[in-house]
Structure 1
């Protein structure tokens, strides 16, 4: 019993301590400002909400900090929307030109852009978010190369298409491994040890059981998926490897989704900020780092002063949530 309690004490637990009413004031204020400014205020709203969530997320009783600014995100959004405006303008010009070749080229470029831009969006978003995130004054850092990730993503996409989606699970695991293996936190490094075949069988089981169970199997699927991503994420400190642990049960997830749905439905969406806080509180309650990590010996080696939020804004624009 003493050994067990000592191991439990050595586990580093995450905790989200935000308050629904407190966050609701920020949420609805940002919503109103964004509407009244025709969306211009959105970058500042996003940063304020991110700072709130970081500030009220704890690891081992110490909170995280987000250092991004509304101006950085706004500059990123301007680049994205100017590029999108040019693409749409060219698309409209091509369609109205009554020239079949030009119309085909404009459509092809428009859709090809959204396929080819995704790896650059992922790279930029992770580099920006990691460089602007810290804990105990120690910053994260992403060392990935955007062209390496680009070719890895394009190759994986093509193989997935040619295999009618079968390779998709290996592709997703490969991308996650690349990203995590290039992520640093002070003198800590990360890796992902999950296998593509494990994710494939998980996905196949979901496809086969979704209709016969009228979608109820989704609760088991998402619980297993989140546990897969967490449990196989590895931290290396001075040659010693430590894993995350996600201990949520299927019944816990069912309760979360059911109550969240009822809250949003009954209040016609007004309860959304309370539901967000409730979800963060729930998710972090089950996430911990196993015994073996010495948080007192984490040291800042070097950190990235990357402030270009172009990738962050592009991920937002594409509604592509990979981080």
Structure 2
């Protein structure tokens, strides 16, 4: 295997702040219409400033494509809201139709994002099967409910297989496969963090609640109410913190494992991710504190810092020459799935 090619992010917080503030102001002034073009400018900046092996990424979608998709999706939601008020049975029908269309919209989102992305002038593509999308995103969630979510690792592995194996760089395909063990290891570590948080919540709250009940005869009702709200608020903050930590533990372990099991092409070019739970936790917490303390003005700095950390801890492991790729430009103007994914917060892209 040839030498390691590290990813690199060459953007700066100052440059990104200039783009971000213009995007924000124009989106506000146009009542959100410009946000479609803002997304394009944002993606272009982060893609074009991310490099590996002497080539950078690029984003090719247009604001018009994204705006049309968003208008259609927003229109569907407005119709649903209107029918909910005047004809609830019809609103239920629309909700069921959206639910049934959900896996297809994920598929369209992945196609749109892949076909409008490139590395070194070679376009990505996604050609996952519709049937697989329905099996994974409609069928497996039913299994999750029936198994009380103990099968979350199976869903994670299936969605990663679907997302990665459906991608290609030009005509060169990505491949991912893995045993279920590492997924359960990450899942159980995350569950352990949540259980520790729940235990700490109980140890913190129960004795104080008992003391409050014991002394309630000596206290005014208003005092009891304030103490109760304070105790519960602190307890929930502890639980939320543990939830965030559990999410960081899971996503960090999964990213490192998924990259290590992903290859590209017959030569099996490899990938590597070396992010750590401690570093991710430090970045997330300090970013949040800085953004809150600056009333949001330091958000661009936090985004660049996070993106740079991910890039610095990602590597391509070439197995021979990288000049083998042949590309084909596949146009895809259908941004409806992408717009729906934006609204729902869905993102299944390979994490380049």
Band of TM-score, shorter chain? 0.7 to 0.9
Normalised by the length of structure 2, the TM-score is 0.80
CA deviation after TM superposition for structure 1 residue 211, in Å: 3.9
Structure ID, larger Rg? 2
Alignment counterpart, residue 224 of structure 1, candidates 245, 248, 253: 253
CA deviation after TM superposition for structure 1 residue 29, in Å: 0.8
Counterpart of 1:28? 21
Is 1:193–1:234's contact at 8 Å kept on the other side of the alignment?
A: no
Q: For residues 138-180 of structure 1, give each alpha carbon's deviation from its aligned partner in whole angstroms, at most 9, with x where no partner exists.
A: 1111112334412442221222222221222212211221232
Counterpart of 1:91? 84
Q: Whole-Å Cα distance in 2 between the matches of residues 218 and 128 of structure 1?
A: 27
Say if 1:219 and 1:48 are closer, same or farther in 2 by CA, change over 3 A.
closer
Alignment counterpart, residue 242 of structure 1, candidates 220, 244, 269: 269
Normalised by the length of structure 1, the TM-score is 0.87
CA deviation after TM superposition for structure 1 residue 218, in Å: 5.4
Q: How does 1:1-323 map to 2 (within 5 A)?
A: 10-94=3-87, 103=88, 105-106=89-90, 108-109=92-93, 111-212=95-196, 215=242, 219-236=248-265, 239-300=266-327, 302-323=328-349
CA deviation after TM superposition for structure 1 residue 198, in Å: 2.6
Structure 1 stretches lacking a partner, 5+ long:
1-6, 95-102
Q: CA RMSD in A?
A: 2.1
Q: Whole-Å Cα distance in 2 between the matches of residues 159 and 194 of structure 1?
A: 20
CA deviation after TM superposition for structure 1 residue 303, in Å: 3.6
Q: Whole-Å Cα distance in 2 between the matches of residues 63 and 249 of structure 1?
A: 25
CA deviation after TM superposition for structure 1 residue 217, in Å: 5.8
Is 1:169–1:196's contact at 8 Å kept on the other side of the alignment?
A: yes
CA deviation after TM superposition for structure 1 residue 107, in Å: 5.7
- Residue 107 of structure 2 aligns to a residue in which SS? helix
CA deviation after TM superposition for structure 1 residue 30, in Å: 0.8
Structure 2 stretches lacking a partner, 5+ long:
198-237
CA deviation after TM superposition for structure 1 residue 264, in Å: 0.9
Q: Whole-Å Cα distance in 1 between the matches of residues 336 and 72 of structure 2?
A: 7
Q: Which segment drifts farther, 43-52 or 146-155?
A: 146-155
- Residue 10 of structure 1 aligns to a residue in which SS? coil
